[in-house]
């Protein structure tokens, strides 16, 4: 089959020209600010969902957390695969190879859809024996079988939607991502809040709300993927389920999938170790992590923006703009780190008071823990900037190693040391977060120097 010539729309052409030839600082900000708000809303949504589950009962909250861990494999696989798709689409798009872009999009969406259908057929009808087989508590099975089924299908929808969102990110369509996220969030919160606060509902209702929300995103995805864009729309004629096309995407995605699954399981190990300091410390660690995450949303949004821009420029062979893009990203993240660290750190007593539930004891634990975790704003300057460059160059193995080192080489050993050889009290939850992230930033810097030198060396050889 001879592929027809594919053309960009006027809007797509203008955005591509801005990324490949415009002011890098302004372009990173214009794409990154909506992505930062996107990150901020997602973090708030996770907090609100936990609150609503707790409003039903403590058992409901435990069951929700248990089944969330079970769906971790699907979510991590989708997230990892999305990284590979975004990278390869961005490189091909930057190079002007629109046929390859369309092949990747059409093929990976087909793979994602097939995975969703197959797993739905295998797991949903056999949910009860499957849960028994893996040792799920009988109470959770009896009370949450429908929650699991609906939640499992929702996770599969999220798997597909994540691939779609990665395609939007690879184009730099930050505003569209933000609108989709806002619609999804408003729908989820409206349905869930009405059900929990005004009616006597079970956790199954929470699952239904999540399913409806992801279904909305799925339909939005279909609207754009089957739309007018010649390059970024799905087309059955461009499906190519070959090793040549799929293997590079899967190879670059696998390290991210693996490290995300292991990292989330490792966080459970940290929580189990913190129990020796009391249950309030575990709670303070969770709240502190949430607040530190909110304080760094701008930096992580800029990371995604910088990755999109640098990847397209790498695809276009403009390594000079990749270097300049990285420097601009580093400067933006450094400013954001200071701007958010200072007010969050100084206002910690007030902010933590909102989460202390009128408990002076819990508030006294929260203040030092959260203050220490706010240093993440500073360590994230190096981490988010270097992550963007590593992703741009396809160094996902380095990213995975750094992520796992944060937990298993730094955080867990530090906690073990504090437990056995010091008299440090409840602030230990903040200390291990602060120092593990600082050490991770140093490790990232070491790899950054190596990658930077390698890029410069290769560029000179090519030149």
Instruction: Single out the residue of 33, 460, 100 nearest to residue 244, CA to CA.
Output: 100
Q: How far apart are CA 146 and CA 338, in angstroms?
A: 46
Nearest residue to 408 via CA among 254, 265, 285: 265
CA–CA gap between residue 379 and residue 437 (Å, rounded): 6
- Domain edges within the chain: 1-241, 259-463
DSSP secondary structure of 156-182: HHHHHHHHHHHHHHHHT-HHHHHHHHH
Question: At which residue do the structure tokens 């030198």 appear?
Answer: 453
Taking CA atoms, 115 is separated from 5, 156, 405, in Å, by: 31, 8, 31
Residues 371 and 426: beta-carbon distance below 8 Å:
no
Measured distance CA(71)–CA(264) in Å, rounded: 12
Burial of 120 (0-12, 13-18, 19+ CB in 10 A): middle
What the block records as the tokens of 205 is: 């209702």
CB neighbour burial string for 404-418, b if at least 16 within 10 angstroms, e if fewer: bbbbebbbbebbeeb
Each of the 463 residues of the chain gets a pLDDT tens digit; together they read: 444 577 788 888 888 889 999 899 999 999 988 888 877 877 777 666 655 555 555 556 556 666 766 676 777 778 888 888 999 999 999 999 999 999 999 999 999 999 899 989 988 899 888 888 877 778 778 877 888 888 889 889 988 998 998 898 888 888 888 888 888 888 887 887 777 667 666 677 778 888 898 899 999 999 999 887 788 889 999 999 999 999 999 999 989 888 877 877 777 788 788 888 887 888 788 888 888 888 898 999 999 999 999 999 999 999 999 999 999 999 999 999 999 999 999 999 988 887 776 778 888 988 999 999 999 999 999 999 999 999 999 999 999 999 999 999 999 999 999 999 998 888 999 999 999 999 999 999 999 999 999 888 876 655 4
Residue 322 makes CB contacts below 8 A (sequence gap 6+) with 310, 313, 314, 389, 392, 455
CB contact at 8 A, 232 and 164: no
């Amino acid at each position: 089959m001879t592929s027809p010539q594919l053309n960009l729309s006027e809007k797509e052409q203008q955005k591509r020209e801005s990324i490949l030839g415009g002011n890098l600082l302004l372009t990173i900000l214009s794409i990154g600010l909506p992505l930062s708000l996107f990150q901020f809303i997602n973090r708030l949504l996770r907090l609100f969902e936990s609150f609503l589950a707790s409003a039903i009962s403590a058992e409901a909250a435990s069951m929700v957390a248990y089944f969330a861990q079970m769906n971790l494999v699907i979510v991590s696989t989708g997230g990892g695969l999305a990284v590979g798709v975004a990278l390869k689409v961005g490189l091909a798009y930057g190079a002007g190879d629109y046929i390859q872009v369309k092949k990747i999009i059409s093929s990976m969406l087909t793979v994602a859809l097939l995975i969703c259908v197959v797993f739905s057929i295998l797991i949903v009808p056999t949910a009860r024996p499957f849960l028994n087989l893996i040792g799920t508590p009988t109470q959770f099975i009896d009370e949450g079988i429908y929650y699991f089924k609906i939640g499992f299908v929702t996770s599969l929808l999220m798997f597909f939607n994540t691939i779609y969102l990665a395609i939007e990110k690879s184009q730099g369509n930050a505003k569209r991502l933000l609108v989709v996220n806002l619609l999804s969030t408003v729908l989820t919160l409206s349905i869930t809040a009405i059900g929990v606060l005004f009616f006597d509902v079970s956790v199954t209702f929470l699952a239904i709300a999540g399913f409806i929300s992801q279904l909305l995103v799925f339909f939005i995805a279909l609207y754009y993927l089957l739309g007018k864009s010649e390059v970024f729309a799905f087309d059955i004629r461009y499906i190519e389920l070959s090793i040549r096309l799929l293997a590079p995407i899967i190879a670059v995605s696998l390290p991210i999938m693996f490290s995300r699954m292991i990292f989330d399981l490792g966080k459970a190990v940290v929580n189990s170790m913190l129990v020796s300091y009391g249950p309030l410390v575990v709670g303070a660690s969770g709240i502190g992590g949430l607040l530190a995450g909110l304080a760094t949303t701008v930096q992580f949004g800029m990371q995604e923006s910088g990755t999109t821009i640098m990847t397209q420029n790498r695809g276009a062979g403009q390594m000079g703009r990749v270097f300049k893009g990285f420097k601009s990203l580093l400067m933006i993240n450094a400013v954001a780190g200071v701007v958010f660290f200072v007010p969050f750190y100084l206002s910690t007593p007030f902010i933590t008071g909102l989460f202390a539930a009128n408990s002076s004891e819990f508030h006294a634990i929260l203040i030092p823990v959260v203050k220490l975790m706010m240093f993440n704003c500073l360590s994230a300057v190096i981490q988010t900037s270097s992550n963007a460059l590593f992703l741009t160059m396809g160094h996902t193995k380095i990213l995975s190693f750094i992520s796992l080192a944060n937990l298993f080489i730094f955080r867990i050993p530090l906690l073990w040391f504090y437990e056995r050889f010091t008299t440090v009290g409840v602030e230990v939850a903040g200390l291990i977060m602060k120092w593990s992230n600082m050490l991770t930033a140093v490790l990232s810097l070491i790899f950054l120097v190596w990658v930077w030198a390698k890029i410069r060396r290769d560029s000179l050889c090519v030149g």
